[in-house]
Amino acid sequence: MKILVCITNVPDTTAKISFTDNDTKFNKAGVQYIIGPYDDYALARAVELKEKLGGTITVLNVGEAESDPQIRKALAIGADDAIRVNCDPQDSYFTAAQIAAIAKDGSYDLILMGRESIDFNSGVVHSLVGEMLGIPSFSPVMKLDIEGSTAKFAREIEGGKENLEAPLPLVLGCQEPIAEWKIPNMRGIMTARTKPLKVVEPVAVDELATLDKYTLPAPKGACKMIPADQAETLISLLKTEAKVL
């Protein structure tokens, strides 16, 4: 089985976010980067499937050289080789087009990625890749098993989950509890240094979206404590101030 795992290089969830150039560029200064948490789940399940069924895992990142430490970490966790599309990903369509181009050349049986990245949170790349390749795509997948040429999986839906089956190849966007994150051991870290990392140039893609500017979310307001015997006051505030009722 050939598995392609797509990973993102994203700011740590504890990073302080700011922008430059009149709020048109993300300020990378001093920011610690990590593998996207949902991508980590996809990678962990891929490693488990490889250990159970055999096969190979290729890690794919659409990004610049600053992504290499995260790619090497993925190799240390258990991937066999890696590909990096050398570019600054512009939007979901651009990223999906790069993934689809690599997937077409590689003839992969299973394409895994996180249900969304934690920087832009678009949550549409997996479905775009599936459409571009003409194969099924599902998300968010929280359980996955492979039996022969069939994938059996469960995905979260509003109010519960549904159990599905689909033939390979297919694209899946993953989330917890599909697997537990894996921490690379010393042997994995050492062998990752010699595993192949191929850098390729991006395919040409029409620009469908342009960035206007970034804005930070509004700061959190002060917390108001309402006595337990003043339910009417609480309901009034939820309607007039919080506007959630």
* pTM score of the predicted model: 0.85
Q: Which token pair is 208? A: 């469908």
DSSP string, 106-118: HT-SEEEEESS-S
236 within a domain of the structure (yes/no): no
User: E-assigned strands of the chain?
Assistant: 2-6, 9-11, 19-20, 25-26, 33-35, 56-63, 81-86, 110-114, 137-147, 150-157, 160-167, 170-174, 197-200
238 within domain boundaries: no
**Whole domain around residue 83: which residue ranges?**
2-216
Helix (H), strand (E) at residue 191: helix 186-192
Cα separation, 216 vs 245, in Å, equals 25
Q: Is residue 110 part of a domain?
A: yes
- Asked whether residue 83 is domain-assigned, the answer is yes
Residue 147 counted as domain residue: yes
Question: How many other C-beta atoms can be found within 10 angstroms of the C-beta atom of residue 113?
Answer: 29
Q: Has residue 223 been placed in a domain?
A: no
**Tokens 């192949």 belong to which residue?**
196
Pairing of the two strands 160-167 and 150-157: antiparallel
Q: What is the pLDDT of residue 81?
A: 97
Per-10-residue mean pLDDT for the chain, 245 residues long?
A: 96 88 86 93 96 96 95 96 93 95 94 91 92 96 96 92 95 94 91 95 89 84 86 91 83
Domain count, the chain: 1
Q: In whole angstroms, what is the distance from residue 197 CA to residue 180 CA?
A: 25
Q: For residue 84, give the CATH number of its domain.
A: 3.40.50.620
pLDDT in the model for residue 209: 82
Residue 124 has what pLDDT? 93
Residue 117: exposure state from Cβ atoms within 10 A (0-12, 13-18, ≥19):
buried
The answer as to whether 232 is a domain residue is no
Tokens of 162: 């549904």
Separation of alpha carbons 233 and 92, rounded Å: 44
Token digits of residue 6: 């797509």
Q: Taking Cα atoms as reference points, which of 124, 123, 59, 61 lies closest to residue 89?
A: 61
CA distances from 50 to 45, 90, 204, 236 (A): 9, 32, 33, 56
| C-alpha distance from residue 139 to each of 148, 149, 154 (Å) | 21, 19, 9
Pairing of strands 137-147, 25-26: unpaired
Three-state SS string over 37-85 comes to HHHHHHHHHHHHHHHHHCCEEEEEEEECHHHHHHHHHHHHHCCCEEEEE
The Cβ-side half-sphere exposure at 46, using a 13 Å CA radius, reads 36
What per-residue confidence (pLDDT) applies to 55? Answer: 95
230 inside domain = no
